[in-house]
Chain A
Amino acid sequence: MLEILPLILVFPLAGMLLNAVFSRWMDETWIAIFACGASGTAFVIAILQAIALSGNHFHVETVLIADWITIGNLHLPWQMRVDTLSLTMMMLVTGVGTLIHIYAVGYMRGDPRFARFFIYLNLFITMMLVLVAADNYLMLFVGWEGVGLCSYLLIGFWYDKGDNGVGNARAGRKAFVVNRVGDMGFLIAMFLMFGAVGSLNFDDVLYFFEHNGVEVAGLATVVTLLLLVGAVGKSAQIPLFVWLPDAMAGPTPVSALIHAATMVTAGIYIIARSAPIFALAPVSQTTVALVGASTAFMAGTIAVTQWDIKRVLAYSTISQLGFMVAAVGLGGYVAGMFHLITHAFFKALLFLAAGSVIHGVEHGGHHTHDHCDAQDMRNMGGLRHRMRITFWVYLVGAVSLAGVFPFSGFWSKDEILADAWNVGVVQGHWHGVAVYVLLVLAAILTAFYMTRQIVMVFFGEPRSSAAEQAIENPPVMTTPLIVLAVLSVVGGALNLPGWHTLGHWLEHTHHFFHGLDFNLGVALGSTVFALLSIWIGTLVYYRRPLENATAPDQLEGVLGPVFRFLYCKWHVDELYSKTIMALYEWKARFLAFQVDWYFWHDFVHEQLIASAFRGVTVVLSGPVDKGVINPFFDGMAQLVRTFATRVLRPLQTGYVRNYALGVMLGVIIVLGMIFVNEGM
């Protein structure tokens, strides 16, 4: 039974090739059938594998496809690995992937590049399966690069749209370039592992580290930190997260599949896969946990300020990925994987539902010739009447994300918090406490911005004619939403306290993976925080809904210049590029905002909370996101390019005598090196 595993790659690949070759003779229906069928078949195979594996007493199996690289004693085959960890990912990728395929059939209908979209999508599924089914780091890297390429192609899918007609293409390139930084870490880690172990097979490498224990702790620290660099790039953590919000330029199913459910979790997967190495490197674990927790918090604060329905979700995704990274950093691999799964359900759901909203509003816009921005939440409002199914599934996704009992997000997020509590309070590590505090704050923010979004989009009165005329989408789009909604509700059952189904399942892969007992105190605490946050959000946004599409955010009245200042992102860029100037101006604005504080009798608590949010957000999303990190990468690229243009190009003068001088210089350098080396 396990021998059929390679078919899981064959079907999506075949679907891709079929569509690539024959799409010009097929209509959309057939393209869709091939693409969805390919993905669905892969899902069925994954299920069969799971059954076979449990029948096999969970014994790890490897399936050799072909020899690949054999250099001396180095043997790297195309070999797939079936264990509970890889199967979990395979089922998730193919299952959620299939649902998103089906949804995309409706979403992309009529697009001139319909076939190409599904070609990319099937290629992505193939590559993602290569990533999770690999039996060695190098093959994993192939998948890793492959999904990166697909992601990049799909972000730029509507390459002729975006700012100045090139914005989307630029977003794609940004994603690619930023990810290469992460890849560099991954590659160097791989070479180091290879140098020490002489192999890149998971079993060999992990055995080496487990077997040699503390003797190789130094190496383990370096390797894991480099792996972390890779994971940080792929999973959009500080400081490499900048590409993910821009990646929302791609079609919404792509955002759901690649930039929420699957590819971005590859970083968590690789950390989980390398768990035994991380176990030897407490420094790296601490770093991982803190990076994750800080990202979770920071992205949460930024999400509060966004207008674009997908950008809110993008920052939310970064935040939730931070939860997972923090979890695996604390050794809570089961919790991390659990959250990975539930997050895949509800975030895919939210993205798809957001896509449904956008689609509906766009449709309304066509109807009324109101060409407002269909992704701007200020142009929405009152959609709960016009798009009932979308509203309800969105609500399910949102409460699940907010961590409300008994939705799936509650169970998984709670387990992460329990892990943090365990490390911080029970075991008494300082970083555990820090992670716990940051994650709780992030959870509060999560509930707040989801409330804000729900209220803005679905409640109140429509704030544009497009929203008034918005209509519900056809069943091909809503059915996957309903399925995902059901999964978001019941997903928590995967790893209920007491049963620990997922924990026991994953334990077969590695003994590091074991769940933690339910912590009632933590659970109660986080539930209270979540509900409180929702209540505050309701107070701010539901009681005083936006008047119209151009009205300021409720908090904007409170925060005045700060909000507008946030809104003008390019302004912030400019501001913080002149660092010193920026500090002064920020101070001035801060004072102005205090003076203008005319609202404070009504909402004093909210204002306190809100101003804290805003203050931190200004700092984080301003200088850090827009002012430091972006310019850093742009600056590096610019520096290299300037060097090439200003220094290297003029050297190439075109005068043959200059070139002869170059040859002569080479002669002198070579002779000089040889003689100096010899000691003259």
Chain B
Amino acid sequence: MTISNLNLVGTLPLLFLSAWACGLLLVDLWIPGDRKHMTGWMALSGFAITFFWVSSNLGQREEAFGGMLAIDGFSNLLHLVFLGSGILATLLALNYLKQHDIERGEFYPLMLFSVVGMMIMSMAKDLIVVFLALEMLSIPLYVLVGFARTRADSEESALKYFLLGAFSSAFQVYGIALIYGATQATGFAAIGDAVAISGASPLLLAGIGLMLVGLAFKVSAVPLHMWTPDVYQGAPSVVTGFMSVGAKAAGFAAIVRIFFSAFHSLAADWAPVIVLFAVLSTVIGNVAAISQTSIKRMLAFSSIAHAGYVFVAIVPGGYGALSDFAASAVIFYLAAYGLTNIGAWSVVIAVDHADGMGSDISNYAGLARRSPGLAAAMTLFMLSLTGLPPTMGFVAKFYVFRAALAAGYTWLVVVGVVTVLISAYYYLRVIVVMWMNSGDGQVVTPRALNFTVGVTAAATLVLGLLPGPLMAIVESSVRGLF
């Protein structure tokens, strides 16, 4: 029995990380309960090894497992985003779990499993793999969200996330069934061929719509966003920082791959839906964030809005030659958002007390005096999330708007600019509170957290000033893929 084009070599980083996760589960059994951070360090080294492994060979163009997986610049770059968020979140978790008295060794393998799911998601070239990967990244996340079991809000958010996630993935499965029924295939290439021959049937369109719902739920697009603030608020902050980047990026990876390759010729049908998601998410996300008093909920709505900006970048993907451009913009935006957002969540973790009382924006009063470095970094993150120069967030927004302009969506860019204007209001409030109000309260800044904040802040600034090399890498890796 032979399998055509298995290409285990190409998938080695993925297999390595999976094996590392399984191994860690075993090793963890022998690690005494008060030294669980050792598991964390081992998970960290697994992430780091895979990170460098992947980054050493970005430009591959291969397939594996009989065309079920693609190993190319797109997936590799997104792997770096997932692994990077994994690394940073693990670093934060080392102290966070102990501080909040929820330290258990299983945390780290679950995180590894989730990252494996994300990685598969970005490589998937078959709908069944997309579905499995989505579940692989979600199921550990459901558990991680409820990891602080002693806290009622953590449990509550896990239940909400789980029920709604299962609900939306049922829609997705049904969508896949319909697509299969319409095209007789689940592989992207075969679907693309079938669509090119037979065009759109109602069955196919219904399938596309339902499947999009499942993915849009993961990236929290309006109106599938309602779980986001509750889950972001209730989940342990390390998990929130991790999932707000990783799960979102994975969802977008699947959307890009599916819609740019399989349904490329149906752009006229799906592009309006994407535009709708973009407009609703940016407007509702940003406006709703204004009225929030909890920084976690504010960041949750901000993440909804950022999903909207990524949708703005996806819109041009239906326009033939622009799909490379759109994919690059998506990657760059996700990278920028990932760095900035994890940085912001690290600061949230530093200010958050174990009793969960430090999550109000008013708790940031006087942070500039208590911890100037933290406040300066947070200012940078807020500016980057707003999209002000000279931060990476600005370049990313510019990139995205540039892509939308190239496709002729000037009005969408105007909506984008106006919503950025609205968003300045609530991001600014955090800066105002930090620098211009006085207050006290303690800040917990272990070394790992300082490191995370420092790295993300430096990257946000440096890549805002000199994004050229990264852009070049992104563009050359993605060129010709879609």
Contact = CB atoms under 8 A, between A and B. Distances in A.
A and B touch in the complex (CB under 8 A): yes
Interface of A: 66-72, 74, 78, 138, 141-142, 145-146, 149, 153, 156, 159-160, 166, 168-169, 172-173, 176-177, 180-181, 183-184, 187-188, 191-192, 194-195, 637, 640-641, 643-645, 648-649, 651-652, 654, 656, 658-660, 662-663, 665-667, 669-671, 673-675, 677-678
Contacts of B287: 640, 643-644, 648
A176 B383 CA distance: 13
Interface in B431-452: 432, 435-438
B417 A71 contact: no
**A173, A187, A192, A662 interface centre (most CB from chain B within 10 Å):** A187
A417 to B, nearest CB: 38
B286 to A, nearest CB: 9
Nearest to B171: A667
A673 B164 contact: no
A674 B466 contact: no
A645 B291 contact: yes
30 contacts: A71-B328, A142-B390, A146-B390, A159-B436, A169-B432, A172-B432, A173-B428, A176-B424, A180-B421, A183-B421, A191-B413, A194-B402, A195-B405, A640-B425, A641-B291, A652-B288, A656-B164, A659-B164, A663-B171, A663-B217, A666-B213, A667-B171, A667-B210, A669-B223, A670-B210, A673-B276, A674-B270, A674-B273, A675-B206, A677-B269
B405 A67 contact: no
Interface stretch (B98-106, B114-122, B187-195, B467-475): B467-475
A145 B424 CA distance: 12
Contact of A640 (B268, B273, B290, B398): B290
Contacts of B164: 656, 659-660, 663
Contacts of A191: 401, 405, 410, 413, 417
A153 to B, nearest CB: 7
A571 to B, nearest CB: 28
B168 interface: yes
A66 B435 CA distance: 32
B224 A648 contact: no
A195 B168 contact: no
Contacts of B418: 184
A659 B229 CA distance: 11
A188 B290 contact: no
Contacts of B398: 69, 71, 138
A187 B227 CA distance: 33
Contact of B437 (A169, A177, A188, A637): A169
Interface in B319-349: 325, 328
Contact of A662 (B200, B223, B413): B223
A314 B472 CA distance: 48
A195 B432 CA distance: 35
- Interface residue SS majority, chain B: helix
Interface in B226-280: 226-227, 229-230, 268-270, 272-273, 276
B212 interface: yes
7 tightest CB-CB pairs across the interface, nearest first? A159-B436, A644-B291, A67-B468, A659-B226, A169-B436, A142-B389, A648-B288
- Interface residue SS majority, chain A: helix
A193 to B, nearest CB: 11
B361 to A, nearest CB: 14
B242 to A, nearest CB: 22
A659 B227 contact: yes
Interface of B: 159-160, 163-164, 167-168, 171, 200, 202, 205-206, 208-210, 212-213, 216-217, 221, 223-227, 229-230, 268-270, 272-273, 276, 284, 287-291, 325, 328, 383, 388-390, 395, 398-399, 401-402, 405-406, 410, 413-414, 417-418, 421-422, 424-425, 428, 432, 435-438, 465-468, 471-472, 475
A392 to B, nearest CB: 38
B224 A666 contact: yes
B425 A649 contact: no
Given A644-B288, A674-B209, A674-B270, A663 B167 contact: yes
B291 A69 contact: no
Contact of B272 (A192, A651, A667, A677): A677
Given A145-B388, A159-B437, A188 B417 contact: yes
Given A663-B164, A677-B268, A678-B200, 6 more contacts: A68-B395, A71-B398, A156-B432, A660-B167, A677-B272, A678-B202
Contacts of A180: 421, 424
Contact of A71 (B291, B402, B424): B402
A644 B290 contact: yes
B391 to A, nearest CB: 10
B209 A670 contact: yes
Contacts of B288: 644, 648-649, 652
B432 to A, nearest CB: 6
Contacts of B402: 71, 74, 194
Contacts of A673: 272-273, 276
B233 to A, nearest CB: 11
Given A159-B437, A172-B436, A659-B227, A70 B468 contact: yes
Contacts of B389: 141-142, 145-146
B124 to A, nearest CB: 21
Contact of B425 (A72, A637, A678): A637
Contacts of A173: 428, 432
Contact of B213 (A145, A183, A649, A667): A667
Contacts of B270: 674
Given A71-B471, A659-B164, A669 B276 contact: yes
B290 to A, nearest CB: 5
Contact of B410 (A169, A195, A669, A678): A195
A662 B228 CA distance: 12
B269 A656 contact: no
Contacts of A192: 410
Contacts of B422: 640
